[in-house]
Amino acid sequence: MIAVMIAGATAMLVSLFGTRFLIKFFRKAGTGQPILGKEDLGPEHHMAKQGTPTMGGLAIILAALAGWLVSHLRGGIAFSDQAMIMWVAVLALGGMGFIDDFIKVRKRHNRGIFWKKKSYITLGISMLIAWWLVAATGVSETISFTRSNFPGWHVPWPLFVIFVGIIIWSTSNAVNVTDGLDGLAGGSAMLGFLAFTIIAYWAFRNPTVYGDVVNPLDLAVFAAAFAGACGGFLWYNAAPARIFMGDVGALAIGTALALLAVTSNTQLLLILICGINVMEAGSVAVQMTVFKASGRKKRLFRMSPIHHHFELIGWPETTVIIRFWLICGIFVASALAIFIGDFTHITDNL
C-alpha cells in the first residue's frame, strides 16, 4: 500500500510543478490552442479560449512515469512485463497525439495534418500493442467482467488480439472526444484511475480469487500514478483552464485506462468505469447516424459531443462540467459496487 501512496503523491507533486512550468514555457513561446470556428462547425462560443497553452498532457505522462519509477525505489515491487508494455503504448499513442498537437499549433488550426488519417493510424498502433501484450505476457485471454472467469468467454487468440486492440483504440479516442470542456476529461479520468487502483490492489490482496491477474501491485501503482498526475494537472486545468491537455494527454490517458482494464481482467467493466466517455463518444456516433440518415438535414443534438449540446441550451460551462463529474462518479461507484459485490459473493461461497 505504501508503494501505491508513494506513486500517487509523487505523481501529483511532479504534475503540479510540471504543469506550471509548461504554462510559462508555452506562453513565452507564444503558442496556444486554436479553436474551430463557425466555418468549421465548431464550438464558436469557445473562441475566447483560443491561444490557451496546450499539450499539458506532457506533464501528466511524465509525472505518472516519475511516480511509477519512484515507487519502485523502495523495493519489494517488481517491474512487470505488463507495465513495461503499457508504458510503451502510452508513449506511442501519446506521441501520436503530440505530433498532431504540434502541427495544430504551428498551422494555427484545430485540425492537424493527421485529422482524417489519425483514426486509422491509432487503430494500427492499438492492434500492434494488443498483439505484443497478449503474445509476451500472461494476460488472461478471456472476455471478462470482474474477473477472468466471469463470464470468462474464451475466444480464439487472433480474435482476442483484435478485441483488445479495439478496446485501446476506442477508449483513447473516447477520452479525446471528452476533452472539450475545462477539466472534464482530466477529472473523469482521475476517478477512473482511482477505481483501477482499488481493483488492482484488491486483486493483489486476494490472490486466491484473482490469481490470473499478473503482478497486480504494479498495476495498482501504475493506476495510482496516473490518478495523482491527473489530480495535479487538474489544479491548472479546472475552469477557467490555464492550460489544455491536448491530444497528447487524452490519447495517453485513454490508452492507460484501456490497458488497465485488459490486464486486470475487467474489460467489460470498463464500459461503466469510463461511462462518461462512452456517453460522449456515443453522442457523436448517434449525431452522425441521424445526420446522414436524414440526408444531412437533421441533427439529434444541437452540437456533439453532448457537452456542447448542454452548453447551447443554456447551461454554464462549469455547470456542465460538475454535473458530468457527478454522472462519472455514479458510473465509477456503480462499477466498484459490482466488483466488490462479486468478490463478496465468491468469498461467501468458499
Closest listed residue to residue 21, CA positions, set 49, 47, 58, 52: 58
The more confidently predicted of residues 48 and 65 is 65
State whether residue 144 is helix, strand or coil.
Answer: strand
When pLDDT is averaged across residues 228-238 and rounded to a whole number, the result is 96
DSSP string over 103-143 = HHHHHTSSS-TTTTTHHHHHHHHHHHHHHHHHHHS----EE
Contact 206, 343 (CB under 8 A): yes
State whether residue 217 is helix, strand or coil.
Answer: helix
Query: Which residues have CB under 8 Å from 51's CB, separation 6+?
Result: 32, 33
Query: Which residues have CB under 8 Å from 33's CB, separation 6+?
Result: 49, 50, 51, 52, 53, 54, 104, 105, 110, 244, 246
Instruction: Identify the DSSP state of 296.
Output: S
d(CA 269, CA 258) in angstroms, rounded, equals: 11
Closest listed residue to residue 325, CA positions, set 207, 234, 217: 234
Q: Give the angle 322-328-329 at the CA atoms, nearest 5°.
A: 90
Tell me the pLDDT of the chain averaged across its residues.
Answer: 90
DSSP string over 83-110 = HHHHHHHHHHHHHHHHHHHHHHHHHTSS
Weakest-pLDDT range from 38-42, 96-100, 148-152, 311-315 = 38-42
Q: Residue 224 has what pLDDT?
A: 98
d(CA 33, CA 106) in angstroms, rounded, equals: 10
- How is residue 211 written as a grid cell? 490469481
Phi, psi of 145 (to 5 degrees): -110, -65
d(CA 273, CA 67) in angstroms, rounded, equals: 23
Query: Which residues have CB under 8 Å from 185's CB, separation 6+?
Result: 175, 178, 179, 245, 249, 250, 253
349 confidence band (pLDDT: 50, 70, 90) = confident
d(CA 98, CA 248) in angstroms, rounded, equals: 5
Q: Structure pTM?
A: 0.93
pLDDT single digits (tens) 103-155:
888 776 655 555 567 788 999 999 999 999 999 998 999 999 999 998 989 98
Segment of 255-259, 287-291, 342-346 carrying the highest mean pLDDT: 255-259
Alpha helices in the chain (DSSP H): 2-29, 57-71, 81-107, 118-136, 157-178, 184-205, 216-237, 246-263, 270-273, 275-293, 306-312, 317-348
Q: Where do the structural domains in the chain lie, given as residue ranges?
A: 2-348
